[in-house]
Amino acid sequence: YGDNPSLIVSCREGTPALIYDTDDYLLTNIRSNSIEVTFRIGDNPAETQQWSKLTTGEGAGLFGDRAIALMRRIYDADRIFLRLVERNGQTHDALFPLDGGPAAYDAAANACGFFLHCLGHGRKLSIILAVIKDLSLIAQELFFADIE
């Protein structure tokens, strides 16, 4: 127990999920469906969020839009550190290398029908705008060619 923590990215019943399975039963507040998770993406500052407790009692996860948001943030990252703290103060730490992560995130995105890359990404937006400009020029050339 506790020797094989895992980071699981999936699409289950149409819902994206990002799960930290500690492989150990957690003593948590039974009156709450969430547990505090601290994480660090690469060398960025650590952040703390409330994640949903797993029904197995062995971890926590993000589901739906919250899972998508974190998948987008870690897409190009090389590693993520995760920490859960039990009610009794015992910590469950894991450092996951994210080699091969993009393939897993893309598979979940394809299965659940969402996009990981949105127009807000500067480089991709520049490429899209360049393509639109080129298409516009081609359309103008075709229009004026028909008039002559």
pLDDT above 70 covers a percentage of the chain that reads 78
Residues of the chain with pLDDT under 70: 1-2, 118-148
Please list, in sequence order, all residues whose beta carbon lies within 8 angstroms of the beta carbon of residue 92, skipping any fewer than 6 positions away: 2, 5, 22, 24, 26, 83, 84, 85, 86
DSSP string, 2-57: -S--EEEEEEETTEEEEEEE-SS-----TT-SEEEEEEEETTSPPEEEEEEEPTTS
pLDDT value at position 88? Answer: 87
pLDDT value at position 71? Answer: 95
Contact call for residues 82 and 96 (beta carbons, < 8 A): yes
Q: Taking the model in full, what pTM does it have?
A: 0.76
pLDDT value at position 124? Answer: 54
pLDDT value at position 120? Answer: 47
